[in-house]
């Protein structure tokens, strides 16, 4: 006969002997959790036991506070470092690619207008722009996953850039021979730049700027979990000291006091350090990145407007808008100049709102040069529309009182403004990142010291019961 596992069978007995006891259930086995709970309940009935529980809880809270703080701040510091060392430089490189391509297109058109033999300065500028774009594309590819949207745009640019330069060389070769086909190649190259290369470069810039924004927001996110555990740890430490005072009439327990001091230092360091970091990163965004974005777009608009202005003279009305009513390149010039004016207005407002006098000056110089450029352009158009092509050409690419001279002033002013804002961004972002330096290691070390101090303080009280 079988029996349940918790029942013992009654032994057999001989006739005439008293019966054996009936079967009784075996005591159920105790689980580890039940044993621990029982021991804790038993310990809580005595003062030494309660002190041991309090000491363990205090040590665990302080260590948890330090560990969580180290983890969260390490994450914030990594994001701040990405802003300074990775995402912002990549965003700047993407803007540099866009700017170099647009400038190369403008330089190619300027060289074409100079006749069969373009000047060495214009040729060198074009070559330098292509070299810069190629170098920045290699750098961006090395720091970008090919499967991402940025990687796709980089691949597109690497594929189309040689085709563009090939078209420019054909345009240059035909132009040197005085063949009209050169103008057609130049216009085809401009279409490839306008419709394929520049849109890809703009998408790359947008993607990298979005990644910068993500790193920026991750670095500024408040460490609420760390702050919450820190407040709880301090509250429990104060409660433990108050309890100790009420039972012993002693004002201070040196161990608990040291643990409280360590937790307080970590909490203050956490709050102040992260506040300073947030402030520095906010300043980097307001005084630097927002202005950089506006100024980059303004410079690109000026380059596109200059290229369209040159192509207006090259095409001489041969290319019309989709409705067939207006000169396409003259229309594109007007669109580019309008966008340039809007971006410069934004840049001037940002500089004024932030009280940046040094940043305001180059923007004001650019605004003045744009006004001059527009006036000279109207004069050149009157000459060209009146049939005086040679005079119009001098007014576009001449060395004195030309739109090219005004464009150079705009470009130089924007270059200075960009250099200033880049410096402002880098300094503010580094200051923000520096505010978090040492906090993860410091928090962990102080937490360990605080936990040891709490245990020592509780053990000092326990020794009075021995």
Write 117-125 long-range contacts (CB < 8 A, 24+).
Answer: 117/176, 118/172
Band (pLDDT 50/70/90 cuts) for residue 55 is confident
Q: What span, in angstroms and rounded, lies between the C-alpha atoms of 345 and 352?
A: 11
Q: What span, in angstroms and rounded, lies between the C-alpha atoms of 295 and 307?
A: 18
pLDDT tens for 274-306 read 999 998 888 888 777 888 889 988 988 998 898
Instruction: Return the closest-CA partner of residue 76 out of 200, 226, 253.
Output: 226
pLDDT at 17: 59
pLDDT at 324: 74
Residue partners of 147: CB distance under 8 A and separation at least 6: none
- Beta-ladder partners of 245: none
Q: What span, in angstroms and rounded, lies between the C-alpha atoms of 98 and 308?
A: 16
pLDDT at 11: 55
pLDDT at 346: 92
pLDDT higher than threshold 70 for residue 13 = no
Residue partners of 163: CB distance under 8 A and separation at least 6: 192
pLDDT higher than threshold 60 for residue 249 = yes
pLDDT at 145: 86
Residue 25 φ then ψ, to 5° = -65, 145
pLDDT tens for 399-458 read 788 998 999 999 999 999 999 988 888 888 888 888 888 889 999 999 999 999 888 887
pLDDT higher than threshold 90 for residue 362 = yes
pLDDT higher than threshold 80 for residue 331 = yes
pTM here is 0.76
Please state, rounded to an integer, the average pLDDT across all residues of the chain: 85
Question: Please, are residues 424 and 359 in contact by the beta-carbon 8 Å criterion?
Answer: yes
Band (pLDDT 50/70/90 cuts) for residue 36 is low
Band (pLDDT 50/70/90 cuts) for residue 255 is confident
Tokens of 48: 């030494």
CA atoms within 13 A on the CB side of 347: 31
pLDDT at 153: 93
Q: Where does 249-289 have alpha helices with state H? A: 254-283
pLDDT at 466: 57
**DSSP secondary structure string for all residues of 85-125:** IIIHHHHHHHHHHHHHHHHHHHHHHHHHHT-SS--HHHHHH
Question: Please, are residues 113 and 396 in contact by the beta-carbon 8 Å criterion?
Answer: yes
Residue whose entry in the numeric block shows the structure tokens 């809580």? 44
Residue partners of 266: CB distance under 8 A and separation at least 6: 65, 66, 69, 230, 442, 443, 446, 447, 450
Counting residues of the chain whose pLDDT is more than 70, the rounded percentage is 88
Write 161-166 long-range contacts (CB < 8 A, 24+).
Answer: 161/101, 161/130, 161/133, 161/134, 161/137, 161/197, 163/192, 164/189, 164/192, 164/193, 164/197, 165/130
Question: Please, are residues 153 and 83 in contact by the beta-carbon 8 Å criterion?
Answer: no
Cα radius of gyration (the chain): 38
pLDDT higher than threshold 80 for residue 462 = no
pLDDT at 32: 65
Higher-confidence position of 278 and 466: 278
140-152: average pLDDT:
88
222-230: average pLDDT:
92
pLDDT at 119: 85
Band (pLDDT 50/70/90 cuts) for residue 14 is low
Q: What span, in angstroms and rounded, lies between the C-alpha atoms of 309 and 386?
A: 17
pLDDT at 130: 95
* 389-397 vs 357-385: helix crossing angle, rounded to 10: 170
Instruction: Return the closest-CA partner of residue 447 out of 65, 57, 54.
Output: 65
pLDDT at 86: 87
pLDDT at 101: 93
Largest CA distance in the chain: 144
Residue 79 Cα distances to 85, 120, 209, 217, 283, angstroms: 10, 45, 14, 9, 16
pLDDT tens for 157-194 read 999 999 999 999 999 999 888 888 888 898 899 889 98
């Amino acid at each position: 006969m079988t029996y349940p596992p918790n029942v013992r069978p009654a032994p057999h007995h001989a006739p005439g002997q008293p019966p054996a006891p009936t079967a009784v259930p075996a005591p159920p086995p105790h689980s580890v959790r039940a044993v621990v709970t029982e021991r804790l309940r038993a310990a809580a009935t005595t003062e030494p036991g309660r002190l041991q529980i309090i000491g363990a809880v205090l040590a665990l809270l302080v260590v948890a506070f330090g560990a969580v703080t180290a983890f969260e701040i390490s994450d914030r510091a990594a994001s701040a470092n990405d802003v300074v060392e990775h995402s912002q430089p990549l965003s700047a490189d993407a803007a540099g690619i866009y700017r170099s391509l647009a400038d190369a297109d403008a330089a190619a058109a300027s060289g074409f207008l100079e006749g069969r033999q373009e000047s060495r300065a214009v040729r060198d500028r074009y070559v330098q722009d292509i070299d810069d774009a190629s170098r920045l594309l290699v750098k961006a590819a090395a720091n970008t996953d090919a499967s991402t949207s940025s990687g796709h745009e980089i691949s597109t640019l690497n594929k189309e850039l040689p085709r563009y330069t090939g078209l420019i060389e054909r345009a240059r070769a035909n132009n040197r021979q005085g063949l009209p086909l050169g103008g057609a190649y130049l216009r085809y190259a401009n279409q490839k730049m306008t419709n394929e290369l520049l849109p890809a470069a703009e998408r790359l810039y947008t993607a990298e700027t979005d990644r910068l924004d993500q790193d920026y927001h991750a670095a500024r996110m408040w460490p609420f979990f760390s702050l919450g555990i820190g407040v709880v740890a301090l509250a429990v430490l104060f409660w433990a000291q108050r309890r100790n005072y009420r039972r012993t009439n002693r004002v201070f327990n040196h161990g608990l006091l040291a643990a409280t001091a360590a937790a307080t230092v970590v909490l203050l360091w956490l709050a102040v350090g992260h506040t300073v970091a947030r402030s520095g990163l906010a300043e980097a965004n307001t005084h630097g990145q927002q202005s950089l974005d506006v100024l980059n777009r303004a410079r690109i608009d000026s380059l596109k407007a200059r290229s369209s202005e040159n192509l207006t003279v090259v095409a001489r009305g041969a290319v019309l808008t989709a409705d067939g009513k207006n000169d396409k390149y003259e229309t594109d010039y007007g669109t580019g100049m309008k966008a340039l004016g809007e971006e410069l207005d934004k840049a001037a407002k940002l500089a004024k709102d932030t009280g940046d006098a040094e940043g305001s000056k180059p923007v004001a110089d650019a605004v003045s040069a744009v006004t001059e450029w527009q006036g000279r352009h109207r004069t050149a158009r009157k000459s060209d529309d009146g049939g005086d092509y040679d005079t119009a050409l001098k007014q576009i690419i001449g060395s004195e009182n030309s739109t090219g001279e005004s464009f150079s002033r705009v470009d130089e002013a924007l270059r200075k403004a960009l250099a200033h804002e880049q410096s402002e961004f880098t300094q503010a972002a580094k200051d923000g990142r520096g505010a978090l330096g040492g906090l993860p290691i410091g928090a962990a070390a102080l937490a360990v010291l605080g936990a040891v101090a709490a245990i020592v303080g509780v053990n000092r009280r326990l020794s009075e019961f021995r």
